Amino acid sequence: MKKQNKVLIIIPAFNEEKNILKVCNSILNSNKKDKMKYDFIVINDGSTDNTSAILEKNHIPHINLVQNLGIGGAVQTGYKYAYINDYDIAVQFDGDGQHDINYVKNIISPIINDECDMCIGSRFINKKTSDFKSSMLRRVGIKLISIVIKFKTHKKVGDTTSGFRAINKSLIVKFAQSYPLEYPEPVSTTRVLMEKYRVKEVAVSMNERTFGKSSIRAWKSVYYMINVILNILLIRRGE
């Protein structure tokens, strides 16, 4: 019989007191119903609200970052934890309720079958699966990043900013050592593609954020785009 893969779900959370418990309970419920069991860990990115107290009170496995690091540093902490504890697959999963636990299966199955090293959950593959496609402006931005990645790596990535992704062990090792702190999703995807890892996308559905605002705000988006595109264009192999 094939060895069961150890799967860790990494949940970065910054000031998510309203959402985090729901997200964790959805994972616990799925573990009860499903054959497939997921470990998970919340990376509390120096939240200033009650996130830490809620995690403590409900005995949710978590790491409290002593200072705020931003999404890149928080997720990398999860990858380091996955590396130290010898996990085979690490799934990045948002702490704000945007992602649906039922799709984790779909995201990790290409990795279990060794079809790819990184699997990205995309909102744009299947028109029906996702009600939430985010605003027009955001979609244009994502498309633009996609074009830049295509230009740089000659590979197509649709949902370039998706924070719903799974990676296998070889990438856990790599990301534990080095992970971009700024604009981590598109930048790390490009780096991975340039080093000839296999990246695949599967269709997922994402919900509208239950509470709070996305970290990418409208007035910051132009600044964000310039930074991301420059950053991607300047990536060199082996960094």
Positions touching other proteins (CB under 8 A) are 62-67, 69, 73, 76-77, 80-81, 84, 181
**Backbone phi and psi for residue 164, each to the nearest 5 degrees, phi listed first:** -110, 95
Rounded to an integer, what distance in angstroms lies between the CA atom of residue 69 and that of residue 179?
13
34 or 182: CB nearest other proteins: 182
Report the nearest approach of other proteins to the CB of residue 186 (Å). 19
Least separation in angstroms between residue 21's CB and other proteins is 19
Nearer Cβ to other proteins (38/81): 81
Compare residues 53 and 140 and give the one whose CB is closer to other proteins.
53
Closest Cα partner for 99 from 226, 34, 9? Answer: 9
Q: Report the C-alpha gap between 131 and 121 in whole angstroms.
A: 14
Give the nearer residue to other proteins in terms of CB position, either 66 or 136.
66
Residue 115 burial (CB count, 10 A)? 11
Question: With respect to other proteins, which residue has the nearer C-beta, 67 or 113?
Answer: 67
191's CB contacts (< 8 A; 6+ apart) are 180, 235, 239
- The nearer residue to other proteins, 80 or 143, going by C-beta atoms, is 80
Residue 148 near residue 225, CB atoms below 8 Å: no
Q: How far is the CB of 190 from other proteins (least distance, A)?
A: 20
Is residue 51 a contact partner of residue 15, using CB atoms and an 8 Å limit? Answer: yes
Q: Least distance in Å: CB of 42 to other proteins? A: 11
CB 76 to other proteins: min, Å: 7
Shortest separation between residue 65's beta carbon and other proteins, angstroms: 5
Between the alpha carbon of residue 20 and those of residues 52, 133, 145, 173, the distances in Å are 10, 22, 29, 27
At 225 the three-state DSSP class reads helix
